[in-house]
Amino acid sequence: MTGTDTSAQVAYPQAPNDAVQYPQEPSTRVRKINFTVFGCLVVFFFLYYVDVFLVVVPWLSYSVPGVTNIGVLSMTAGSALYCYLLCVFKDPGSVPEGWQPDEENGGMKVMEVKRKGGARVCAKCDKPKPARTHHCRVCRRCVLRMDHHCPWTNNCIGHANYRAFLLFLIYVVAALVHTLGLLVSHTLHTLNTSRAQLVLRTGPQGVPVELDDGLKSIWLYALLQTVAFALALPLTVGLSFLLAYHCHLTLTNKTTIEYQEGVSAHFAALGGGPAVGDHPYDLGPCANLHEVCGDNPGVWPLPPCGACCGGSGAIE
């Protein structure tokens, strides 16, 4: 993975066929869904069920607005779920077995070194560490271009799954904003119907209910929608801030670790490279997007078919 500005190119580990090869993990080491991931999936399906079957279907039925809302929500929610599972199950990028730094690589203008000089070696793995690689204490291994270890995915976010993570944030925020809009709109519709003592269709079957006694006859559906709103609102706010933060990181070609630690202090400028204090991987917003998301802008918004940027394939 290289940028377009040769003054800040970084040589990632290369296999003989010029493609990064990741070791296949044995089936016994396939990351399983833990309690946190299971809870995230439960919240995901709960919000989708409430929004579709307790809001859209009884309120708008299968009219054009109803089908449109269901279709758009299903698209954004389905894409978010797929990208989330990709982040959970796929290898974020391992250092190829037997990799050694190429000291004769003349095209490499910026080299990441230890604070006291010399090539970086992982103290835990006792192996050389490529540029932007860090050891994860939770996963107990080195991860290429490690961004962070995410407890919500029970996996690291790194070189091979960062684009999937970024797309997950985009799609899940879009789905949550849509969810909140439908919940608020349906609540206002219900209150207006109750004041006028009209008939309201409720539940997955759209059963008509007369609201001459207020909301007592639909208390269960009202409770479920209240819980859904209480979950969706803080998730929307929190994930929106997280999305804005990672958009900033993407446009500056930084990882969370580099942003927090000030990675430029640990770099040595070679052969006219960037001065100490500048981020050596920042190629400009456009080139940074190509560096992180790939060479074809037409596929940037599409959920990846597998691990990106040299990852190990689709979900198995």
Distance, CA of 183 to CA of 48 (rounded, Å) = 11
The residue written with tokens 């995901």 in the block is 44
- 3-state secondary structure (DSSP) of residue 75: helix
63 backbone dihedrals φ, ψ, rounded to 5° = -75, 180
Catalytic residue list contains 122: no
- Among the listed residues 150, 156, 293, 308, the single catalytic one is 150
Per DSSP bridges, beta strands 199-202 and 207-210 are antiparallel
Q: Coil, helix or strand for 157?
A: strand
Q: Which residues contact 169 (CB under 8 A, 6 or more apart)?
A: 239, 242, 243, 246
Structure tokens at 253: 């070609």
Q: What share of the chain is helix, strand, coil (3-state, %, to 5)?
A: 50, 10, 40
CA distance 86 to 80: 10
Alpha helices, DSSP H, located in the chain: 35-51, 57-60, 64-89, 162-195, 219-252, 256-261, 285-293
Q: How far is 79 from 83, CA to CA, in rounded Å?
A: 6
Active site residues: 150
